[in-house]
Amino acid sequence: MRFELLATLALASSALAQTRKLKWFGINESGAEFGEATIPGKYGKEYIWYDFKTIDQFIGQGMNMFRLNFLMERLTPNSLTGSFDKDYLGNLTEQVNYITSKGAYAMIQPHNYGRFNHAIITDTAGFKTWWQNVAAKFKDNSLVVFDTNNEYHDMDQTLVFNLNQAAIDGVRAAGATSQYITPEGNSWTGAWTWVSSGNGASLVNLKDPQNKLVYQMHQYLDTDGSGTHAECVSATIFKERLQAATKWLKDNKKVGMIGEFAGGNNAQCISSLQDGLKYLGENSDVWYGALWWAAGPWWADYIFSMEPTSGKAWAVLPKIKSYFYA
């Protein structure tokens, strides 16, 4: 009996390790974009990269995707089409190589809100070149995912479309053909406003010759959806805020992912997180997965910090991780 039980448990845990319900389960690694008021800033003073040991800890918890936050101005300090800063590119590359050597996905994510040096990017040709140059460095690594930009907002919708299309065209022109690309929308790419904001009607027309677009949306559970409060509106708010976007994905035969989500470590938020993740799993034909916001060495006592093992949200992980598995 005892041995049978152990065998059953061993089977259950190996099944847990093998059968993913959602393709992607991961986290935002945040720190290399810190200190944005100081460009370029110094490594270890204004900004920081990510600790490989914590990446191992997350992989040990079943995560398989890391969204690597960084700043475009630090990667190409002079202009969109300028040369790379060797150290910053070296650090980014080292992170990508470490993560993908473990079999996990690394998302290259300029945390720029559609801006460069604080001005909205209007040079779509330059943006295409930026992406072509960046993608050329990673074109042979199929575990890399390219995120066109973090959270466009307060921008002309046609420009947001054009920047996403320029990024896709730049990545493919670099010969990076096997990788997924995640377009993001205007209005902070919110899932709850994906249709009402006009993102859906506009971005449905993006074209990728490789057909590997995964629309990236973000969703927080507080009253204003900003992710700045530990409290969640209700135990079902996550699912409710995903419904219109889910319908849009299905109606248009697209796939999406939640690139940022979080809630405080309290009973209502935990219920809501579980309910929303369950809903994503039930709709895994159109949802590829979800990434927690956030980890990184400098978050201190931030409400959503999942940094192992001192982060306030580290204790949330065991309560949500099973929802990523069948």
Ligand X SMILES: *[C@@H]1O[C@H](CO)[C@@H](O)[C@H](O)[C@H]1NC(C)=O
Q: Which is nearer to ligand X, 281 or 296 (CB)?
A: 296
- Which x/- pattern, by CB under 6 A, does the window 177-216 give for ligand X? ----------------------------------------
Phi, psi of 261 (to 5 degrees): -155, 155
Residue least distant from ligand X (Cβ)? 90
The answer to whether residues 284 and 211 touch, using CB atoms and an 8 Å cutoff, is no
The yes or no reply on residue 90 touching ligand X (CB under 6 A) is yes
DSSP 138-189: HTT-TTEEEE--S---SS-HHHHHHHHHHHHHHHHHTT--SSEEE-B-SGGG
CA distances to 9, 27, 151 from 2, in Å? 11, 37, 52
91 lies in the site for ligand X, by CB under 6 A? yes
184 carries an active-site annotation: no
User: What x-and-dash track marks residues 263-302 binding ligand X by CB under 6 A?
Assistant: ------------------------------x---------
Task: Answer yes or no whether residue 56 interacts with ligand X by CB under 6 A.
Answer: no
Is 151 a residue of the active site?
yes
**CB half-sphere exposure, 42, CA atoms < 13 A:** 2
Q: Which position among 29, 73, 260, 307 bears the catalytic label? A: 260
Using CB under 6 A as the binding criterion, the count of chain residues that bind ligand X stands at 11
> Judged by CB under 6 A, does residue 231 bind ligand X?
no
Helix or strand run (H / E) with residue 116:
strand 115-116
Query: Taking CB under 6 A as the rule, does residue 33 contact ligand X?
Result: yes
Q: Is residue 94 a contact point for ligand X (CB under 6 A)?
A: yes
Q: How far is CA 294 from the centre of its chain?
A: 10
| Residue 30 is a binding residue for ligand X (CB under 6 A) | yes
- Looking at 33, 151, 184, 307, which residue is catalytic? 151
Residue whose C-alpha is closest to residue 134's, from 123, 149, 121: 149
Which of these segments, 73-81, 84-92, 232-240, 312-320, binds ligand X (CB under 6 A)?
84-92
User: How many angstroms separate the CA atoms of 119 and 137, rounded?
Assistant: 26
Which residues contact ligand X by CB under 6 A? 30, 33-34, 43, 87, 90-91, 94, 111, 227, 293
